[in-house]
Structures are given as structure tokens and as C-alpha cells.
Chains A and B, each alone.
Chain A
């Protein structure tokens, strides 16, 4: 671990974060670009769900997280508040691990 790593990574991370926000800014964009930008959250958030539920060191891993997230899907479909969905996801996962149902 070195200061070179810390500071270079800081610069790279900030560059990525700022580029889209500042370059596009509040500018009016053509309709086709707007329609595509509107779909970024749908595409990327669903990928984040897959990645943080099934992502492991060597490819796809099905473990206790999948059980907790399944519970979260049921609650979210019933329009439970976000806080409830998050806590239930964590609690069900912890329970599945504690009783040895899954790793």
C-alpha cells in the first residue's frame, strides 16, 4: 500500500464521477440520447442486484444471500418500505447462515 496508489486512485475515481455530471451538465440532449440515459438506472441497478447477490471470487456463487434477496423481492413486490426490505434481506440471510441452511 502506498500514497501513489491512494492518490492516483482518488484522481481516477473522481475523474469518472465528475465527467458525466459536468460534461453533460444541464444541457438539452437529443431525444434518442435522453431515452437511453433514462434507462441507465433500470439496466445498471438490476445488474448490481445480480452482481451483489451472486457474485463471488470465482464466478457465480449461490449462497445465503440468494435466500435473503428472494425474501426482499417478495416484500418489495408487496410494496413494503425500503427500510423493511433492507432489514428483512439482511435478517433472512443472517438466519440462513446461523442455522446452516447456506453459506
Chain B
């Protein structure tokens, strides 16, 4: 219970007829003090019996601003996700799945090592769990009660917050491992901007690329930055008592929601292209190898470096990929 000594209110005001009431019946003698309430509204701190951070603040007005910004974030964020889904769906309808134009050769090239794939899927599993529970917490209260009812939504929200808080801290080492494991080859080069100017070949023509193209590199750096913002803001939300200052926690809440929405929006594109959007892409991350024609069509400069390691012995290539990824070629070149 907050006790504001200068503004202490009477515990039990005496009864009075409503028509004779002219202001709050307080220790100030029944007079309302605009100055006092203005100070309180501005967050002026009083004195409390048990001191603690912000314990003397009666009204934290920044909460209203935070609520407004939070609602705005929800509205724009929802629009962003719908727009990205719409673009991906429209592209699929118009262009269909991007095939391997030259067909499969039956020869594969090692692309991702076992360590890279384990780190990727560990982060991916956590990302999906966190995204689903996070979206439910962010949008659920607006969308779900009319469909599943208040009780079922309360149950889903309770489950989601527990899962989100549990899996969240695991995402921090996953992001760090992702950064360390994939940073090599993800620095921007001149060829990446040529790729960008050609629209990545998505609208016709061919755009040359190294192991990672401009989009993949941007996704990598986007994941690292958003992952770090989510990690820092998430820990602030998980341990608010450690932070102490409520305005920092409110800022962390907004940063967490915005970073998550931006992360998920990009991830939709990544997941789309990695699965239904492009033939031959997913196996690079499941089996560690890609078809030679896929490599030639999407990463021709990387293929030129690695074409000598192409083999029709798929199982042997998978084992080689698991042990070394495509490092063997780089090391031989050095």
C-alpha cells in the first residue's frame, strides 16, 4: 500500500449529502489541490513506509503512453504479417514453386555441416515455439475469445505465457550459436548488390551469388540483431524486479513486440522459400547436400568453387557434409 505522506487521504470519510459535495474530503480539508494532482500525474514521488524502487509513485502516467504505443504496435504488426503472407501467397499463385530448371542431376554437393544444421534446427524449433506462443499472447485477446470463448482463451494464454517464459532463455544461446556458426561467408560483397539490382532473379533473368546471396545474408544479420534485441528485452521482461525502473520494462515490452514482429515477418519469407517456394532448397538443411543444378542456378559462384566435390554417391556426400560441410574445398584452396 503506497502511503504518500504529503497527500495522505483520510481513511474513512464521513457521510455527506451528494448535493453538498464540493471536492474530495481529504486531509487537505475537503479542498481539491490541482497542483498536487498535477504533480502526481507527472510522476512526482512521495514517501513510503517500505522504500522500494518507484514505491512512492502513485500514478505512473507513462503506462498510458505505453498502452497506446502497444496497441498501435499490435495494429501495424498484424498488418505487416498479413501483408507478408499476402505477398508470399500471391507470388506462389502467380509464379508457382520455383523449380530446378535444369532438372535434378542426381549429383549432390555438400553445403551445410552437421553442426550448422543442428544449430539451425535448434534455433528454428525454439523460434516456432516462441513465435506461436508470442503471437497468441499479442493478438489472442483480440481474435480468439469470439471464436473459442473466454475460458478457452484464458487456458491458452496461461499455457502460452508459461511456455514463452520457459523457452525464451534457451533462445539466447541459440542465437549466439547461430551467429558463430553461420557468420563465415555472410559478409556483404559487391556481387550481392548486383544480385539485389537484378531482383535476385525472382522476376526473370539470372543473378549470380556466392554461398549466400544478398537476401540470405540480410536474413542472417536480421536474425542476429533481432535475436539480440529479443534476448535483452526478454530478460528485462522476465526479471522486472532486477531492472527496477518500470519505464525501462515498458520500453523493453515495446522493443520485444516490435523486434518479434519484424523477425517473424522476415522468417515467413525465409520459411516460404526454404520449403514450398523453391524446389531443392530444404534438403540443404535436412541432408546437408544440394543438387548440383540447384547450386548452379542459385549460387553459381559457390558452385564454381565446389563443383569438383559433386558426387552421385549421395550417402557418402551426406556423411562428408555432416563431418565437414563445404569446408574441405575452402581448405584445399588455401
Chain A bound to chain B: no
Which residues does B use to contact A, with CB under 8 Å?
none
